[in-house]
Amino acid sequence: MNRYGETRSGLSMLLALVVMLGTQVLLIFPLVGRVLTRINLTAPGGFDGYIDAMMEFAMNPWLLTGSNLLVIISIPLLFYLLYKRPLRQMGLYRKGFFRQLLLGLLFGAAAIGAVFGVMMLIDNVRVVAVDYTVFKNPVFWASLTMFIAVGFGEEVIFRGYMMTAAKTMRNKALILFVPAIVFALMHIANPGINFLSLFNIFCAGLIMALLFVKTGRIWASVGFHITWNFMQGCIFGMNVSGMPVASLLKVEFAGLDYLSGGAFGAEGSLIATGIVILCVLFAAFVVRKSKDRPWTYFSDLPFAKIRPYQPPVYYYPPQAPPPYPLYYTHPEANPTQPQAPQPSFPEPNISPPEEKQ
């Protein structure tokens, strides 16, 4: 507890990560036996094969969809049990849902579209074919379902929950930056990750954090997250955080990896760095604040049970009554109350002076 009686933000975020990773372990654990039957740990490179097989199962679209659905259910429940507050205080407010979700979808599509467009302009990527049969591929629709679930699940935990928990630090910069850093570090085990990829994901986290701050709800950031991933993978044919998916466009990269992103995808490119920085500035200075924001930086604080005010109790040791009255009252001031005894004074002897003979 901090000095305000609130749960410390670091402990609260750690609990959320434990819940999120716990849901994934619950789904991956039944697959461990299948993984062990496919590899031989005693053979040369056997442990590497184990890691590769686990990553293959962990990036299964249906597995990721299921784990994020569990996150969507468990994280709001954790927030309610920990803080005893309504869910609107973490940005889950239904008013304005469709409008803000649509604006976020358009913003995300425009951002990743700009990245792909610049890559084509500098001849860094070429479209080889357009595969319309992908719409008949169930993997395509499984990937779309996964990106929707990931968009909602990750925004609920990293923006809705963690940014709300970070309010107890009472610092605007920390509320923005700490969840974005945690969001980037959660991708550190993805294939093809590098420092540039981490920085770009951190900037994307800042974009979605600013959308959350400006609207007071998570719907715009959810929309941005969904179309950023979906358009990048299922439409433009690039890896999404190192994960290949079925796509409409078949592309080939002709330039350097630091421009195309390499195996990690567009998020690992220097072009994406420039675009996401512009998007951060756009979200910070151009996007207007909603008039009715249920979430602001320091609203609903303190996150502790407010105790009723109790006046301080002072103890005075008993004292003997004084031997004389402390004050004198006129006898007619309050005739119903016993009066303190009035002192008697001798009558003054006032007599005329004697006449001299």
- How far, in Å, CA of 337 to CA of 22, rounded? 76
Question: Is the model more confident about 184 or about 313?
Answer: 184
Cα–Cα distances (Å) from 266 to 111, 126, 208, 270, 324, in that order, read 11, 14, 18, 9, 94
pLDDT beyond 80 at 335: no
pLDDT beyond 80 at 86: yes
| 296 DSSP 8-state letter | -
pLDDT beyond 60 at 253: yes
pLDDT band at 242 (very low <50, low <70, confident <90, very high): confident
Whole-number pLDDT of residue 170: 87
Q: Cα-flanking dihedrals φ and ψ of residue 50, to 5°?
A: -65, -45
Nearest CA among 224, 197, 199, 202 for reference residue 287: 224
Average pLDDT over residues 98-116: 95
Whole-number pLDDT of residue 208: 96
The CA-based angle 224-225-227, given to 5 degrees, is 70
Whole-number pLDDT of residue 56: 62
Answer whether 256's CB lies under 8 Å from 109's CB: no
Find residue 253's DSSP bridge partners: 125
Residue 104 exposure: Cα atoms within 13 Å on the Cβ side:
30
pLDDT band at 308 (very low <50, low <70, confident <90, very high): very low
Q: What is the 3-state secondary structure (H, E, C) of 103-139?
A: HHHHHHHHHHHHHHHHHHHCCCEEEEEECHHHHHCHH
Whole-number pLDDT of residue 257: 80
Nearest CA among 221, 235, 233, 234 for reference residue 261: 233
Encode pLDDT of 144-183 as tens digits: 999 999 999 999 999 999 999 998 888 899 999 999 999 9
The average confidence (pLDDT) of the chain is 81
- How far, in Å, CA of 12 to CA of 14, rounded? 5
pLDDT beyond 60 at 83: yes
Instruction: Identify the three-state secondary structure at position 253.
Output: strand
The angle, 0 to 180 degrees and rounded to 10, between the axes of the packed helices 97-121 and 195-215 is: 150
pLDDT band at 272 (very low <50, low <70, confident <90, very high): very high
Encode pLDDT of 23-44 as tens digits: 777 776 666 555 555 555 555 5
Find residue 251's DSSP bridge partners: 127
Instruction: Identify the three-state secondary structure at position 243.
Output: strand
